[in-house]
Amino acid sequence: MRPINRILLAGAAGALGRQLRPFLAGHCAHLRVTDIADMDPPGADEEVIQADLADPVPVLAMTRDVDAVVYVAGKGMEAPFDEILRGHMLGLYNVFEGARKNGVRRVIWASSIHAVGFYPFSQVLDSRTPPRPDTNYGTAKAYGEGLAQYYWDKYGIESVSMRICSCFPEPADRRMLSTWLSYADLKRLVAAALTCTRPDHTIIYGVSANTHAPYDNRYAAHIGFRPEDNAEAWRAKVEAEKPPFAPGAPEIATHGGAFATFGHFDDPQQD
Protein backbone atom coordinates (compact mmCIF):
# COMPACT_ATOMS: atom_id res chain seq x y z
CA MET A 1 0.00 0.00 0.00
CA ARG A 2 1.51 3.24 -1.07
CA PRO A 3 2.05 5.85 1.57
CA ILE A 4 -0.78 8.32 1.94
CA ASN A 5 -0.28 11.42 3.98
CA ARG A 6 -3.60 11.91 5.76
CA ILE A 7 -6.73 9.75 5.80
CA LEU A 8 -10.01 10.63 7.45
CA LEU A 9 -11.85 7.60 8.82
CA ALA A 10 -15.52 8.42 9.38
CA GLY A 11 -17.44 6.02 11.61
CA ALA A 12 -14.43 4.96 13.64
CA ALA A 13 -16.49 3.70 16.58
CA GLY A 14 -18.57 1.23 14.57
CA ALA A 15 -17.89 -2.42 13.90
CA LEU A 16 -16.16 -1.78 10.58
CA GLY A 17 -14.47 1.37 11.83
CA ARG A 18 -12.86 -0.43 14.75
CA GLN A 19 -11.38 -2.93 12.31
CA LEU A 20 -10.16 -0.28 9.93
CA ARG A 21 -8.67 2.18 12.42
CA PRO A 22 -5.54 0.22 13.33
CA PHE A 23 -5.21 -1.03 9.76
CA LEU A 24 -5.26 2.45 8.26
CA ALA A 25 -2.97 3.80 10.96
CA GLY A 26 -0.29 1.57 9.59
CA HIS A 27 -0.69 2.91 6.08
CA CYS A 28 -0.69 6.68 6.34
CA ALA A 29 1.38 9.32 8.02
CA HIS A 30 -1.57 10.88 9.79
CA LEU A 31 -4.91 9.30 10.62
CA ARG A 32 -7.87 11.44 11.56
CA VAL A 33 -10.82 9.52 12.97
CA THR A 34 -14.34 10.69 13.70
CA ASP A 35 -17.61 9.38 15.05
CA ILE A 36 -20.66 10.65 16.87
CA ALA A 37 -19.94 8.06 19.58
CA ASP A 38 -17.04 7.80 21.97
CA MET A 39 -13.80 6.50 20.51
CA ASP A 40 -10.51 5.31 21.90
CA PRO A 41 -8.04 8.09 22.62
CA PRO A 42 -5.66 9.05 19.82
CA GLY A 43 -2.53 7.01 19.21
CA ALA A 44 0.62 8.40 17.70
CA ASP A 45 -0.07 10.39 14.53
CA GLU A 46 -3.78 10.20 15.18
CA GLU A 47 -6.41 12.87 15.68
CA VAL A 48 -9.79 12.05 17.19
CA ILE A 49 -12.78 14.28 16.44
CA GLN A 50 -16.15 13.52 17.98
CA ALA A 51 -18.86 15.06 15.84
CA ASP A 52 -22.22 14.55 14.19
CA LEU A 53 -21.57 14.16 10.46
CA ALA A 54 -25.08 15.39 9.75
CA ASP A 55 -23.75 18.81 10.69
CA PRO A 56 -21.82 20.33 7.78
CA VAL A 57 -19.67 22.64 9.89
CA PRO A 58 -17.43 20.09 11.59
CA VAL A 59 -17.33 17.98 8.45
CA LEU A 60 -15.96 20.89 6.45
CA ALA A 61 -13.28 21.34 9.07
CA MET A 62 -12.30 17.70 9.35
CA THR A 63 -11.89 17.20 5.60
CA ARG A 64 -9.21 19.90 5.42
CA ASP A 65 -5.74 18.67 4.39
CA VAL A 66 -7.03 15.19 3.86
CA ASP A 67 -5.91 12.99 0.95
CA ALA A 68 -8.60 10.37 1.16
CA VAL A 69 -11.74 9.64 3.14
CA VAL A 70 -12.83 6.18 4.27
CA TYR A 71 -16.49 6.46 5.22
CA VAL A 72 -18.13 3.63 7.17
CA ALA A 73 -20.39 5.77 9.35
CA GLY A 74 -23.98 5.02 10.27
CA LYS A 75 -25.50 1.83 11.60
CA GLY A 76 -25.71 -1.06 9.15
CA MET A 77 -29.37 -1.71 9.68
CA GLU A 78 -32.85 -0.46 8.97
CA ALA A 79 -34.06 2.43 11.14
CA PRO A 80 -36.76 5.09 11.14
CA PHE A 81 -36.49 7.46 8.20
CA ASP A 82 -35.19 10.45 10.15
CA GLU A 83 -32.39 8.39 11.57
CA ILE A 84 -31.47 7.06 8.14
CA LEU A 85 -31.61 10.56 6.70
CA ARG A 86 -29.26 12.00 9.31
CA GLY A 87 -27.00 9.01 9.78
CA HIS A 88 -26.57 7.97 6.17
CA MET A 89 -27.68 10.61 3.70
CA LEU A 90 -26.69 13.93 5.28
CA GLY A 91 -23.44 12.50 6.59
CA LEU A 92 -22.29 11.31 3.19
CA TYR A 93 -23.47 14.48 1.47
CA ASN A 94 -21.49 16.60 3.92
CA VAL A 95 -18.40 14.50 3.37
CA PHE A 96 -18.59 14.90 -0.40
CA GLU A 97 -19.13 18.63 0.02
CA GLY A 98 -16.19 18.83 2.37
CA ALA A 99 -14.11 16.88 -0.12
CA ARG A 100 -15.12 19.24 -2.90
CA LYS A 101 -14.32 22.39 -0.96
CA ASN A 102 -11.07 21.06 0.47
CA GLY A 103 -9.76 19.34 -2.63
CA VAL A 104 -9.81 15.79 -1.28
CA ARG A 105 -8.98 13.44 -4.12
CA ARG A 106 -10.72 10.20 -3.19
CA VAL A 107 -13.67 8.93 -1.11
CA ILE A 108 -14.09 5.23 -0.27
CA TRP A 109 -17.43 4.50 1.33
CA ALA A 110 -19.61 1.66 2.50
CA SER A 111 -22.65 1.28 0.32
CA SER A 112 -24.49 -1.96 0.96
CA ILE A 113 -25.96 -5.05 -0.61
CA HIS A 114 -29.26 -3.55 0.54
CA ALA A 115 -29.02 -1.00 -2.28
CA VAL A 116 -29.78 -3.97 -4.52
CA GLY A 117 -31.59 -6.12 -1.96
CA PHE A 118 -34.71 -6.90 -3.99
CA TYR A 119 -33.00 -8.90 -6.72
CA PRO A 120 -33.61 -12.65 -6.42
CA PHE A 121 -30.85 -14.40 -4.54
CA SER A 122 -30.37 -16.73 -7.52
CA GLN A 123 -29.34 -13.80 -9.76
CA VAL A 124 -25.61 -13.08 -9.84
CA LEU A 125 -25.09 -9.32 -9.47
CA ASP A 126 -22.33 -7.13 -10.88
CA SER A 127 -21.15 -3.52 -10.78
CA ARG A 128 -23.68 -2.43 -13.39
CA THR A 129 -26.72 -3.81 -11.59
CA PRO A 130 -28.96 -0.76 -10.96
CA PRO A 131 -30.39 -0.06 -7.48
CA ARG A 132 -33.31 -2.01 -6.19
CA PRO A 133 -33.30 -1.10 -2.50
CA ASP A 134 -35.01 -3.15 0.18
CA THR A 135 -35.34 -0.63 3.06
CA ASN A 136 -35.03 3.03 3.97
CA TYR A 137 -31.44 2.05 4.58
CA GLY A 138 -31.11 0.68 1.06
CA THR A 139 -32.67 3.77 -0.56
CA ALA A 140 -30.12 5.88 1.34
CA LYS A 141 -27.30 3.75 -0.03
CA ALA A 142 -28.69 4.06 -3.55
CA TYR A 143 -28.78 7.83 -3.04
CA GLY A 144 -25.15 7.69 -1.96
CA GLU A 145 -24.13 5.86 -5.11
CA GLY A 146 -25.79 8.62 -7.13
CA LEU A 147 -23.89 11.23 -5.11
CA ALA A 148 -20.59 9.46 -5.68
CA GLN A 149 -21.20 9.32 -9.43
CA TYR A 150 -22.16 12.99 -9.45
CA TYR A 151 -19.11 14.20 -7.56
CA TRP A 152 -16.88 12.25 -9.94
CA ASP A 153 -18.58 13.48 -13.11
CA LYS A 154 -18.84 17.08 -12.00
CA TYR A 155 -15.94 17.66 -9.63
CA GLY A 156 -13.48 14.88 -10.40
CA ILE A 157 -13.54 13.38 -6.91
CA GLU A 158 -12.64 9.71 -7.26
CA SER A 159 -14.74 7.25 -5.30
CA VAL A 160 -15.40 3.58 -4.68
CA SER A 161 -18.86 2.49 -3.53
CA MET A 162 -18.39 -0.80 -1.69
CA ARG A 163 -21.59 -2.83 -1.64
CA ILE A 164 -20.74 -4.53 1.63
CA CYS A 165 -22.42 -7.90 1.99
CA SER A 166 -22.19 -9.58 5.44
CA CYS A 167 -19.14 -8.23 7.26
CA PHE A 168 -18.82 -10.25 10.47
CA PRO A 169 -16.09 -12.07 12.40
CA GLU A 170 -17.38 -15.32 10.97
CA PRO A 171 -20.45 -16.48 8.99
CA ALA A 172 -23.33 -16.30 11.43
CA ASP A 173 -25.90 -18.36 9.52
CA ARG A 174 -26.26 -20.42 6.37
CA ARG A 175 -27.01 -17.42 4.16
CA MET A 176 -23.65 -15.93 5.07
CA LEU A 177 -21.94 -18.96 3.60
CA SER A 178 -22.68 -17.08 0.39
CA THR A 179 -22.46 -13.44 1.50
CA TRP A 180 -19.73 -13.29 4.15
CA LEU A 181 -16.99 -10.63 4.03
CA SER A 182 -14.19 -11.38 6.46
CA TYR A 183 -12.53 -8.55 8.32
CA ALA A 184 -9.24 -9.40 6.59
CA ASP A 185 -10.89 -9.12 3.18
CA LEU A 186 -12.57 -5.86 4.19
CA LYS A 187 -9.10 -4.49 4.80
CA ARG A 188 -7.87 -5.84 1.47
CA LEU A 189 -10.78 -4.16 -0.23
CA VAL A 190 -10.21 -0.79 1.41
CA ALA A 191 -6.51 -0.97 0.63
CA ALA A 192 -7.18 -1.75 -3.02
CA ALA A 193 -9.73 1.05 -3.30
CA LEU A 194 -7.35 3.55 -1.73
CA THR A 195 -4.38 2.70 -3.90
CA CYS A 196 -5.68 1.65 -7.31
CA THR A 197 -4.61 3.83 -10.18
CA ARG A 198 -7.89 5.21 -11.41
CA PRO A 199 -11.28 4.28 -10.00
CA ASP A 200 -13.33 7.22 -11.36
CA HIS A 201 -16.51 6.10 -9.57
CA THR A 202 -16.62 2.33 -9.30
CA ILE A 203 -19.13 0.05 -7.58
CA ILE A 204 -17.70 -3.15 -6.13
CA TYR A 205 -19.13 -5.95 -4.01
CA GLY A 206 -17.56 -6.42 -0.62
CA VAL A 207 -17.57 -10.19 -0.33
CA SER A 208 -14.94 -12.81 0.44
CA ALA A 209 -13.84 -15.49 -2.00
CA ASN A 210 -16.72 -17.72 -0.94
CA THR A 211 -17.36 -20.72 -3.14
CA HIS A 212 -21.04 -19.75 -3.34
CA ALA A 213 -20.72 -15.96 -3.57
CA PRO A 214 -23.39 -14.72 -6.04
CA TYR A 215 -21.45 -11.58 -7.02
CA ASP A 216 -19.25 -10.88 -10.01
CA ASN A 217 -16.71 -8.07 -9.67
CA ARG A 218 -15.44 -8.29 -13.23
CA TYR A 219 -16.34 -4.68 -14.11
CA ALA A 220 -14.31 -3.58 -11.09
CA ALA A 221 -11.23 -5.55 -12.09
CA HIS A 222 -9.13 -2.38 -12.19
CA ILE A 223 -9.62 -1.93 -8.42
CA GLY A 224 -7.48 -5.01 -7.91
CA PHE A 225 -9.43 -6.48 -4.99
CA ARG A 226 -8.39 -10.09 -4.43
CA PRO A 227 -10.19 -11.60 -1.44
CA GLU A 228 -8.50 -14.56 0.21
CA ASP A 229 -10.99 -15.94 2.72
CA ASN A 230 -13.75 -18.44 2.02
CA ALA A 231 -16.84 -19.05 4.12
CA GLU A 232 -16.61 -22.76 3.34
CA ALA A 233 -14.05 -23.00 6.14
CA TRP A 234 -16.97 -22.35 8.52
CA ARG A 235 -19.56 -24.54 6.84
CA ALA A 236 -19.34 -27.48 9.23
CA LYS A 237 -19.69 -25.22 12.24
CA VAL A 238 -22.55 -23.21 10.75
CA GLU A 239 -24.47 -26.27 9.61
CA ALA A 240 -24.07 -27.85 13.01
CA GLU A 241 -25.42 -24.79 14.79
CA LYS A 242 -28.03 -23.45 12.41
CA PRO A 243 -30.90 -25.32 10.80
CA PRO A 244 -31.40 -25.04 7.05
CA PHE A 245 -33.81 -22.43 5.81
CA ALA A 246 -37.22 -23.69 4.85
CA PRO A 247 -37.90 -23.63 1.12
CA GLY A 248 -38.97 -20.13 0.20
CA ALA A 249 -37.79 -18.63 3.46
CA PRO A 250 -37.35 -14.86 3.13
CA GLU A 251 -33.73 -15.06 4.25
CA ILE A 252 -32.85 -16.76 0.97
CA ALA A 253 -35.46 -15.31 -1.36
CA THR A 254 -33.56 -12.12 -2.23
CA HIS A 255 -30.12 -10.63 -1.84
CA GLY A 256 -31.47 -8.45 0.93
CA GLY A 257 -32.50 -11.48 2.95
CA ALA A 258 -34.58 -10.58 5.97
CA PHE A 259 -34.24 -6.86 5.20
CA ALA A 260 -36.47 -7.31 2.16
CA THR A 261 -39.29 -8.54 4.34
CA PHE A 262 -39.02 -6.26 7.35
CA GLY A 263 -42.09 -4.38 8.36
CA HIS A 264 -41.75 -0.65 8.22
CA PHE A 265 -39.98 0.99 11.14
CA ASP A 266 -42.26 4.00 11.23
CA ASP A 267 -45.34 1.85 11.32
CA PRO A 268 -45.04 -1.00 13.84
CA GLN A 269 -48.49 -2.45 13.32
CA GLN A 270 -47.99 -2.89 9.61
CA ASP A 271 -48.08 -6.26 7.81
Q: Is 49 helix (H, G, I), strand (E, B) or coil?
A: strand
What is the contact mask toward a copy of itself in residues 149 to 168, using x (rule: CB under 8 A)?
xx--xx-x-x----------
Whether 137 is catalytic is: yes
Determine if 61 is a binding residue for a copy of itself (CB under 8 A).
Answer: no
Determine if 18 is a binding residue for a copy of itself (CB under 8 A).
Answer: no
Question: Catalytic pick from 71, 93, 119, 137?
Answer: 137
Nearer to a copy of itself, 8 or 13 (CB): 8
Query: Of 26, 44, 198, 268, which one interacts with a copy of itself (CB under 8 A)?
Result: 198
Query: Of 42, 45, 47, 122, which one interacts with a copy of itself (CB under 8 A)?
Result: 122
* Distances in whole angstroms, Cα of residue 108 to Cα of each of 46, 105, 222: 19, 10, 15
| Residues 174, 120 contacting (CB under 8 angstroms) | no
- Max intra-chain CA distance, the chain: 53
* Distances in whole angstroms, Cα of residue 208 to Cα of each of 166, 182, 214: 9, 6, 11
Determine if 194 is a binding residue for a copy of itself (CB under 8 A).
Answer: no
Determine if 177 is a binding residue for a copy of itself (CB under 8 A).
Answer: yes
CA-based R_g, the chain, Å: 18
Counting Cα atoms < 13 Å in the Cβ hemisphere of 61 gives 12
Determine if 55 is a binding residue for a copy of itself (CB under 8 A).
Answer: no
Interface with a copy of itself in residues 206-235 (CB under 8 A) = 211-216, 218-224, 226
Q: Is 225 helix (H, G, I), strand (E, B) or coil?
A: coil
What is the contact mask toward a copy of itself in residues 62 to 91, using x (rule: CB under 8 A)?
-------------------x----------
Buried b (16+ CB within 10 A) or exposed e, 15-53: ebbbbbbebbbebbebbbbbbbeebeeeeeebebbeebb
Determine if 247 is a binding residue for a copy of itself (CB under 8 A).
Answer: yes
Bridge partners of residue 112, in order along the sequence: 164
Nearer to a copy of itself, 39 or 59 (CB): 59
Nearer to a copy of itself, 8 or 68 (CB): 68
Determine if 128 is a binding residue for a copy of itself (CB under 8 A).
Answer: yes
- Which of 218, 257, 262, 238 is closest to 121 using CA atoms? 257
| Shortest distance, position 185 Cβ to a copy of itself, whole Å | 14
Amino acid type, 104: V
Counting Cα atoms < 13 Å in the Cβ hemisphere of 41 gives 0
Nearer to a copy of itself, 46 or 145 (CB): 145
* Distances in whole angstroms, Cα of residue 229 to Cα of each of 164, 186, 248: 15, 10, 28
Identify the H or E element spanning 57.
Answer: helix 56-62
| Shortest distance, position 244 Cβ to a copy of itself, whole Å | 7
Q: Which residues bind a copy of itself (CB under 8 A)?
A: 2, 81, 93, 97, 100-101, 105, 115, 118, 120-122, 124, 128, 130-135, 138-139, 142-143, 145-147, 149-150, 153-154, 156, 158, 174-175, 177-178, 196-200, 202, 211-216, 218-224, 226, 239, 244-245, 247-248, 252-253, 260, 264, 266-267, 270
Residues annotated as catalytic are 137
